[in-house]
Amino acid sequence: MRDYTETRRDWTHQRCIGRGTIIIAFAIIFGGVVLALAIAFGLGGRDIAKEYLEKKLKGEKRDDIEHL
């Protein structure tokens, strides 16, 4: 029969392996969400950036963008 400290040590070791797995899974999911948002933001602002750069290249001095 195993004593209490040995059983507790086994449980702690198993918990640490699970904790690491959860942290890695969270990091992968969080990174995927951030990447998806960055791509969506970049693709969504593509037309606005294109129009702004075309106006700058044509030599128009007036900005339609309101600054804070």
Domain ranges (residues) in the chain: 4-58
> What mean pLDDT do residues 23-35 have?
96
Res. 30: pLDDT tops 60? yes
Task: Give me the chain's average pLDDT, please.
Answer: 79
CA atoms within 13 A on the CB side of 35: 6
Report residue 61 CA to chain centroid gap. 37
Higher pLDDT pick, 58 / 67 = 58
35-53 residue pLDDT tens:
999 999 999 888 888 888 8
**Alpha-carbon gap, residue 64 to 68, rounded angstroms:** 13
State the pLDDT at residue 26. Answer: 95
